[in-house]
Amino acid sequence: MVLIYALVVLVFTLLGVLLSPLAAQVGGTRPDETIPAHVAELGLFGLLLGIMFVAIAGRSALPLVVATPIMTALLDADHLPAYLGYAQPIRPAHSLIFLVVVLAIVATTIKALDMDLIVMSAFLGHLAIDSGQFAPFSPVNFSYFQLDPFNISFGVCALLCALAAGLVWRSRMAQGAGT
């Protein structure tokens, strides 16, 4: 699941560079010295989501506690071109289309609703922490919107997804044990 997520981040990063109009290629990186703090912030909120999931799901889900922080932080791999000195659009994988694509791939390959909910939780958790602009329909459309007004809603949705994932996992395990 984490691998699928990472691959789709890279594909969207590449598509962003290839498909965005020149005028939209204004993506940059934050100042180097602030990167560790931002990644730590993302990782910690991701970990909180992971802990909420495991708290509901039970001990059998414990190895998955790291999946949310990893995926929450990993979304920022879409800043890679700018980091390497290439022009790129702002946050090409911070996109609702990205979310739909990852969810579709996870749903068809892993076929477990709780895993989809974990992906959604990690993605929304990331958008809850970020500030500034993002292109919600990248790589189809690179109109930029301000993220900040949605931070709290995204955060609440991320928490609800983590809780829902825990409930689904729990009932899946109970069913498994019953058969």
Stretch that binds Zn ion, among 2-10, 44-52, 68-76, 146-154 (CB under 5 A): 68-76
Spatial distance between the Cα atoms of 121 and 115, rounded to a whole number of angstroms = 10
Q: Per rule CB under 5 A, is residue 130 in the interface with Zn ion?
A: yes
Q: Per rule CB under 5 A, is residue 76 in the interface with Zn ion?
A: yes
In the complex, least distance from residue 42 CB atom to Zn ion, rounded to whole angstroms:
7
In the complex with Zn ion, which residue's Cβ is closer, 116 or 130?
Answer: 130
In the complex with Zn ion, which residue's Cβ is closer, 154 or 169?
Answer: 154
In the complex, least distance from residue 120 CB atom to Zn ion, rounded to whole angstroms:
16
- Contact in structure between 139 and 19 (CB atoms under 8 Å): yes
Residue 135 three-state SS: coil
Spatial distance between the Cα atoms of 7 and 158, rounded to a whole number of angstroms = 22
Stretch that binds Zn ion, among 1-9, 123-131, 158-166, 170-178 (CB under 5 A): 123-131
In the complex with Zn ion, which residue's Cβ is closer, 76 or 116?
Answer: 76
In the complex, least distance from residue 176 CB atom to Zn ion, rounded to whole angstroms:
36
Spatial distance between the Cα atoms of 34 and 76, rounded to a whole number of angstroms = 14
- Contact in structure between 76 and 42 (CB atoms under 8 Å): yes
Q: Per rule CB under 5 A, is residue 78 in the interface with Zn ion?
A: no
Number of residues that bind Zn ion (CB under 5 A): 2
Q: Per rule CB under 5 A, is residue 116 in the interface with Zn ion?
A: no
Helices 113-129 and 96-109, interaxial angle, to 10°? 160
Stretch that binds Zn ion, among 15-23, 71-79, 96-104, 157-165 (CB under 5 A): 71-79
User: In terms of DSSP H, where are the helices of 20-150?
Assistant: 35-57, 67-74, 80-83, 96-109, 113-129
Residue 35 CA: distances (Å) to CA of 14, 48, 83, 148? 22, 20, 11, 19
Please give the residue ranges that form the binding site for Zn ion (CB under 5 A).
Answer: 76, 130
